[in-house]
Amino acid sequence: MRTLRYLLRKEFIRIFRNKTLLPMIFSMPIIQLMVLPWAADYEIKHLDIAIVDTDHSAASRRLTDKLTSSGYFRLTARPATFDGALALVESDRADLVLEIPRDFERDLTSGRGGRLFIAVNAINGVKAGLGSAYLARIVAAFAADLRLDRRPDARLSPAPTIETVPIRRFNPAMNYRFFMVPAILTLLVTMIATYLCALNLVSEKETGTIEQMNVTPVGKYVFLLSKMLPFLLIGVFIFSVGLFLIARPLYGIVPVGNIGLLYAYLVLYLTAMLGLGLLISTYCETQQQVMFITFFFMTIFILMSGLFTPVESMPAWARAISRSNPVTYFMEACRMIILKGSGWRDVRDHMAITVGFALVFHTWAALNYRKTT
């Protein structure tokens, strides 16, 4: 126990003396948590639209005003021709083009119905799809308003109506940041546990200090434990700062579930990912190798964990990969506990799988580490 205490003191001194590592541990995670949730938002706004109005009627002006006042579209130009508007799309000065044809108002008042022509820049499929949907919804609302204006008796029509009353559980405002913040917390502790733990051990290989440890009677399990514990404590600290000092005052996220259960799973998850970090370090001789290998795994973890989109929306092969990703389980459980108030029965399968990952990573790392190297 005295040996472990001495080694832990040595590790904390090395960490706090490292002027490069220290900002990565404390400053960067906090900055990322304060910036990324605001930037990552799937609600598309301020779409640049060019409107070709060849009708120049009261109806066309009313439709234009309705589009620009919606908050989704920003009128960038009023070209005279449709070809001129397409040139704006090609030069990335417009995302959508709406052409209001001649005699648009006359066709509406005569009952024949009007036609609108739309062109969309579809390089970004999500942006194009949502922009088209917003535009179609606003045009439909415009047509309904116009119908009521032309036929006041329609307000008294006995036609049946269906009203839907949505009840939004766990995120009443449908704020995408509520979905993102637990995921970013997961990402931050994953980076600390995997990347920094591996980097710390390999840096000792490069400086030669690990050779001094190898000739001491310190057992390899005690040595590996001393390498893990500091980053486990740092991971818990960063998670706590993010959850209580940033997520709560900045985003209004208050954990609904059991905090003890959340932290128990956090310690278990950090233990598993620290094992992965140790495993990576046993195969690397330089910090550059650690960076490349960790970057490879982190890219897969991020894209296949449901960080940005739900796992259920992925194709079958991607869902299979995500289920072999340890990050997926903690990220899901973190959202469940913080936002839904889920309990032990809801996350016990996630925790059991994480225990399996921890056993595999730590056993593999212990067998692969050679104290004589």
Token look-up 């598993």 returns: 272
Q: Is the pLDDT of residue 140 over 90?
A: no
| Phi, psi (rounded to 5 degrees) for 216 | -90, 160
Q: What is the mean pLDDT of the chain?
A: 84
Q: Is the pLDDT of residue 194 over 80?
A: yes
More confident: 373 or 150:
150
* CATH for the stretch 47-156: 3.40.1710.10
Query: How is the beta sheet containing 47-53 ordered, strand by strand?
Result: 73-77, 47-53, 96-100, 117-120
Q: What is the pLDDT of residue 159?
A: 47
pLDDT digits (tens, 9 = 90+) for 57-74: 888 899 999 998 888 899
**Burial call 49-60: b when 16+ CB within 10 Å, e when fewer:** bbbbbebebebb
The Cα 228–Cα 4 span in angstroms is 11
Mean pLDDT, to the nearest integer, of 165-177?
Answer: 75
β-partners of residue 119 are 97
Instruction: Provide the pLDDT for residue 163.
Output: 53
pLDDT given for residue 213 in this prediction: 67
Residue extent(s) of CATH 3.40.1710.10 domains in the chain: 47-156
DSSP-based three-state secondary structure for 50: strand
Q: What is the pLDDT of residues 207-221, one digit of tens each?
A: 777 766 666 777 777
Q: What backbone phi and psi angles, to 5 degrees, belong to 118? A: -125, 135
Average pLDDT over residues 189-201: 88
Is-contact 272 361, C-beta < 8 A? yes
Q: Is the dihedral of CA 207, 208, 213, 216 positive or negative?
A: negative
Task: Name the residue with higher pLDDT: 208 or 42.
Answer: 208
Chain segment 306-320, per-residue pLDDT in tens: 887 778 778 888 888
Per-residue pLDDT tens digits for 295-346: 998 888 888 888 877 787 788 888 888 889 999 999 999 999 999 999 999 9
